[in-house]
Structure 1
Amino acid sequence: MTNTSYDVIIIGGSYAGLSTAMALGRSLRNVLIIDSGLPCNRQTPQSHNFITQDGQEPGVITQKAKAQVLAYNTVKFLHDLAISGRKIDNGFVITTQSNSSFQATKLVFASGMKDIMPDIKGFAACWGISVIHCPYCHGYEYRGQNTAMIANGDRAFHLASLVSNLTPQLTILTSGKADFKPEQMAKLKHHEIKVIDAKITEIEHQNGHLRQIIFEDGKKLAFDVAYGSVPFVQHSDIPASLGCELTEQGQIKVDGFQKTTLSGVFACGDSGYMMRTVASAVFSGNLAGVMVNNELATEQF
């Protein structure tokens, strides 16, 4: 790759980043996508709730999108990891793990979030397969089945309100002292949702498909699926190092046009949006691309 200067560098080449690149490529902007190949849904067998692609493998959607985006010859794709960035007078410089450096007038962060797995044996192996995070993305496929929810407090209560519409067999596993308000406990009891506070030590599974949940006291309970609520961090620390403000939840703070608090920098997809779905990533990426192009056009016209 001989060119080192671009109109736009997009860090992250999954749904949001590719959607951004398509909008920019169609406006003949010189774009470099830098992607390390580790999307957060890489273990998920099927993607749902995305019209025209319902039930498709996530990787197949990405491959098709990448082929369509790279048909625009002003868009380039680099398989590498962006590790640092710095502001310069006329834009930004991004350095990668392979010690390559690239310059751009604008930056777009579509690098996503990294989920932090709990210290429960088998949890990570099941993540995205039978330990799931979103009833909209995966709940329908497990409707009516024996369902655990590994969560506590307000988060567990909110999830229970959504999942109870999908199955009558729901048990909340707090893996420690339950933290519910009296009115929340009353409502859970009303809906016959059990709460178990024994500490979880292992998820017994077969190739990522949950079989039993094992507790510290040796008790085992069989489930078909579990919802897991896990903390997450930005997949890339470059936005914070450049000075982009983060929200209390850890997303990059953006306005209604995907602009961050740092001039010339935009963010889309999971990086800057709480709805972690393919559809929302595509939408926010498209909007980011349009707004980056608009900003370039205004500055250059």
Structure 2
Amino acid sequence: MHEPIYDAVIIGGGPAGLNAALMLGRARKNAVVLDEGRPRNAVTREAHGFLTRDGIAPGELRRIAKEQISRYPGITFMEDTAQWVTGADGNFQITTSQGVILHCKKLLFTVGMKDRPLNIPGLTEVYGKSAFVCPYCDGWELRDEPWVILSNGADAMHFIPLIAGWTDRFTLCTNGPDGLTEAEREDLRRHGVPLYDTPIRSIESEEGIVQQVLLEDGTAIACRAIFFRPDLRIGSDLPQTLGCEVTEAGTVVVDEFGRTSVPGVYSAGDAVTMRHQAIAAASSGAMAAAALNNELNLDAWRNHG
């Protein structure tokens, strides 16, 4: 008995992958959404900035999405991990960690990003509860509260004017050499921004809510929120293994339609950009799925004309 050949396999089941599945289901395509069930935003209690779903729990957003997608019989969900991909456009083969082999015509990587280990003691305990990476996602709930910004160099000088729109009570901790010019330090002094370059000993919290940042010299900085830039890696190395071009930052290079440098392979969502917003990822997945579907239809037209 021959294995079925799906129109597409979507590797990754976050907002990008789910919206792609919705588009392909409505386009009458047969596709599998392959996802390990461990999303990066599982640490957060609420997702924000997603129209009609502001404040929803990330798991609930996925539940509703799957419920709505289930109306379309062509879409199948598998909780598994893609371990290996071989083949070429029109005939890809995916082997999963559970030994399942899937055959498909097109591939769509929506693998997102994963956090590398957080190297500051106590940061893991507050991440997603009172330590965040995006003020657009979580700044409103912490407006006017005292924040500590963990950053340095050019990243810090980019971030600080941005977050000043949510609170004017913040301190910059660089956890070592600040990487700033004297002109930048003077700019911080002029705006009354405290700067500490002493390494951080620990972040002290109660039930996930940060109380203070303790430096190695004993300085304690009271705060109710921490914002920091995470150290991220792409959620899977399969795109690169397959030959897709990637940037120095590790994101997959795609054109405006989500096409990678490998024929028949698409990518969308956080895997292709450093601008991480759930609603933007969903939009990216929808557009890539539409382009993938158009290519499938054109292939069928040419082959049966």
TM-score by length of 2: 0.95
| Alignment partners' CA distance in 2, 1:148 and 1:188 | 14
Question: Partner residue of 2:168?
Answer: 168
Q: Could you tell me which amino acid in structure 2 is paired with residue 44 of structure 1?
A: T
Report if aligned partners of 1:30, 1:75 keep a CA contact under 8 Å in 2. Answer: yes
Question: Partner residue of 2:296?
Answer: 296
User: Helix, strand or coil for the counterpart of 1:212?
Assistant: strand
Report if aligned partners of 1:147, 1:226 keep a CA contact under 8 Å in 2. Answer: yes
Superposition CA RMSD, Å: 1.4
* Corresponding position: 1:38 with 2:38: yes
Cα deviation for residue 294 of structure 1 reads: 0.5
Report if aligned partners of 2:83, 2:96 keep a CA contact under 8 Å in 1. Answer: yes
Which stretch of the first structure deviates more once superposed, 100-109 or 201-210?
Answer: 201-210
Structure 1 residues 226-237: aligned runs within 5 Å: 226-237=226-237
Q: Could you tell me which amino acid in structure 2 is paired with residue 186 of structure 1?
A: E
| Alignment partners' CA distance in 1, 2:16 and 2:193 | 37
Cα deviation for residue 89 of structure 1 reads: 6.5
Question: Partner residue of 1:157?
Answer: 157
Structure 1 residues 1-301: aligned runs within 5 Å: 4-88=4-88, 90-301=90-301
Which stretch of the first structure deviates more once superposed, 39-48 or 79-88?
Answer: 79-88
1:14-41 CA-partner distances (Å, limit 9, x unpaired): 1110000110010111100000011111
Report if aligned partners of 1:21, 1:33 keep a CA contact under 8 Å in 2. Answer: yes
1:255-285 CA-partner distances (Å, limit 9, x unpaired): 1111111111111111112221111011001
> Structure 1 residues 4, 190: CA separation in 2 closer, same or farther (over 3 Å shift)?
farther
Q: Could you tell me which amino acid in structure 1 is paired with residue 16 of structure 2?
A: A
Q: Could you tell me which amino acid in structure 2 is paired with residue 234 of structure 1?
A: I
Report if aligned partners of 1:211, 1:222 keep a CA contact under 8 Å in 2. Answer: yes
Cα deviation for residue 232 of structure 1 reads: 0.8
| Alignment partners' CA distance in 2, 1:202 and 1:87 | 49
| Alignment partners' CA distance in 1, 2:107 and 2:235 | 16
Runs of 4+ residues over 6 Å off in structure 1: none
User: Helix, strand or coil for the counterpart of 2:54?
Assistant: coil
User: Helix, strand or coil for the counterpart of 2:148?
Assistant: strand
Which blocks of at least 5 consecutive residues in structure 1 are unaligned? none
Q: Could you tell me which amino acid in structure 2 is paired with residue 175 of structure 1?
A: N
Cα deviation for residue 212 of structure 1 reads: 1.6
Report if aligned partners of 1:175, 1:198 keep a CA contact under 8 Å in 2. Answer: yes
Q: Could you tell me which amino acid in structure 2 is paired with residue 274 of structure 1?
A: M
| Alignment partners' CA distance in 2, 1:257 and 1:198 | 46
Q: Could you tell me which amino acid in structure 2 is paired with residue 49 of structure 1?
A: G
User: Helix, strand or coil for the counterpart of 1:50?
Assistant: coil
| Alignment partners' CA distance in 2, 1:281 and 1:216 | 39
Cα deviation for residue 5 of structure 1 reads: 2.3
User: Helix, strand or coil for the counterpart of 1:10?
Assistant: strand
Report if aligned partners of 1:40, 1:113 keep a CA contact under 8 Å in 2. Answer: yes
| Alignment partners' CA distance in 1, 2:167 and 2:213 | 19
| Alignment partners' CA distance in 1, 2:200 and 2:91 | 49
Q: Could you tell me which amino acid in structure 1 is paired with residue 234 of structure 2?
A: Q
TM-score by length of 1: 0.96
1:185-211 CA-partner distances (Å, limit 9, x unpaired): 222222111110111122112232211
